[in-house]
Amino acid sequence: MDKYEEKTISGTTIYEGKIITVRIEDVELPDGNHAKRELVKHPGAVAILAITSEGKLVLVEQYRKAIERSLIEIPAGKMEPGEAPEVTAVRELEEETGFGAKKFTYIQSFATSPGFANEVIHLYLAQGLYKIDNPAAGDEDEFIELIEATIEEAEELVATGKIFDAKTAFAVLYAKDLLNS
Amino acid sequence: MDKYEEKTISGTTIYEGKIITVRIEDVELPDGNHAKRELVKHPGAVAILAITSEGKLVLVEQYRKAIERSLIEIPAGKMEPGEAPEVTAVRELEEETGFGAKKFTYIQSFATSPGFANEVIHLYLAQGLYKIDNPAAGDEDEFIELIEATIEEAEELVATGKIFDAKTAFAVLYAKDLLNS
């Protein structure tokens, strides 16, 4: 049993959408008391730290309705049902950037908002990049602009808040360590 | 106007809970087409990278119902309505760890899941730690265990997946850079 496990006593599904499912669960705490947990279920996602042969990071800018602003992020996307994360990595890199990569290396996975959501992002390193002639198109409701940035430029984008999401902030620090070692 | 802005045409609030609010919005895309966005509203949170005089990171282990396992994380907590993030930082550090700090320094803020949620985490560095005699208690439904780890031990916790959340993975890399510079 996991430490301090909270056992589900009952639950209700509030909403089942295209991307998220929202559930309210009544749980039993380690001391026997009960509490209510508000939970968002998400299929999980993959993000790709793609580095060109010139040592530049491949980034994408897109509007994020949830926070009502555009963000510059590393390429990322949701896993399709039954899709292995390494397959998502190849697909999303092509769809969002038009790049293929000779080498994908798994870096690590992390939960983005474990306080209320089960979203896990699997982070891959993509190297040996090449332009795909006729890349597959992404989702028709996604408008994405491609950006290439040196580590110094990426750090400046973090400092000025244009890079503002946790996975990309992590990836920039990781890339800095990688390229300096 | 923000690049590729998506204008809200209509929206419905599906759920208003204690922590999250769930909304579905119909938006107009840059090409004039419409799309549906599933959005989770969250009050925002503060996380604290607290480093002891011996250079150890102060971590907390707790069960996270959303992902059905216990995680080791840096101390963090939601902002109360109207609460400034630096006040949340002081409060959460005391409630979750019993530590006070002589110096809090703002590091940066980031969105945790901009694809569907507006949660923003404000990250602070806490130094000059001291034990508070009778620390304020945290939420009664939180069961938390205090852990102190060297950078090497924290990196091992990341490698073995006991540290598994994005904010803590970022904080460990940040602390490593800070202590090695």
Each as own residue / partner, the long-range contacts of residues A152-159 (CB below 8 Å, 24 or more positions apart, any chain) are A154/A57, A154/A59, A157/A59, A157/A72, A158/B108
- What is the value of pTM for the model shown? 0.95
Which of A17, A35, A118 is nearest residue B141 as measured by Cβ atoms?
A35
For residue A147, give Cα distances in angstroms to A51, A123, B25. 12, 19, 29
Are A170 and B173 inside 8 Å of each other by CB? Answer: yes
CATH of B45-179, one of 1.10.3720.10, 3.40.50.170, 3.90.79.10, 3.10.150.10: 3.90.79.10
* Burial annotation B136-161 (CB, 10 A radius, 16+ → b, else e): eebeeebbbeebebebeebbebbeee
Are A4 and B143 inside 8 Å of each other by CB? Answer: yes
Instruction: Give the pair of three-digit tokens for residue A23.
Output: 């559930």
Are B38 and A45 inside 8 Å of each other by CB? Answer: no
* Residue boundaries of the structural domains of chain A: 7-41, 45-179
The predicted complex's ipTM stands at 0.94
Starting at the edge strand that comes first in sequence, how are the strands of the sheet with A76-78 ordered? A76-78, A45-50, A120-131, A99-111
For residue A82, give Cα distances in angstroms to A23, A29, A97, B4. 22, 33, 23, 31
Q: Are B111 and A68 within 8 A, CB to CB?
A: no
With residue B54 as reference, give the H or E element that holds it.
Answer: none
Catalytic entry in A140, A142, A148, A155: A140
Tell me if residue B67 falls in helix, strand or coil: helix
* Binding-face residues of B in 143-172 toward A, CB within 8 A: 143, 145, 158, 161, 164-167, 169-170
Residue B21 touches chain A, beta carbons under 8 Å: no
Tell me if residue B159 falls in helix, strand or coil: helix
| A42 conformational bin, left if phi > 0, alpha if psi -120 to 50, beta if neither | beta
Q: Which of B9, B10, B13, B12 is nearest to B21 (CA)?
A: B13
Return the sign of the alpha-carbon dihedral for residues B130, B131, B136, B139: positive
Are A40 and B40 inside 8 Å of each other by CB? Answer: yes
Return the sign of the alpha-carbon dihedral for residues A152, B2, A41, B123: positive
Cα dihedral B93, B97, B99, B102, rounded to 10, equals -30
Tens digit of pLDDT at every position of chain A (181 positions): 588 999 999 999 999 999 999 999 999 999 999 999 999 999 999 999 999 999 999 999 999 999 999 999 999 999 999 999 999 999 999 999 999 999 999 999 999 999 999 999 999 999 999 999 999 988 888 899 999 999 999 999 999 999 999 999 999 999 999 998 7
* Phi, psi values for residue A112, rounded to 5°: -85, -35
pLDDT in tens, B35-83: 999 999 999 999 999 999 999 999 999 999 999 999 999 999 999 999 9
Q: Which of B138, B155, B116, B125 is nearest to A113 (CA)?
A: B116
What per-residue confidence (pLDDT) applies to B138?
Answer: 81
pLDDT in tens, A130-180: 999 999 988 888 899 999 999 999 999 999 999 999 999 999 999 999 998
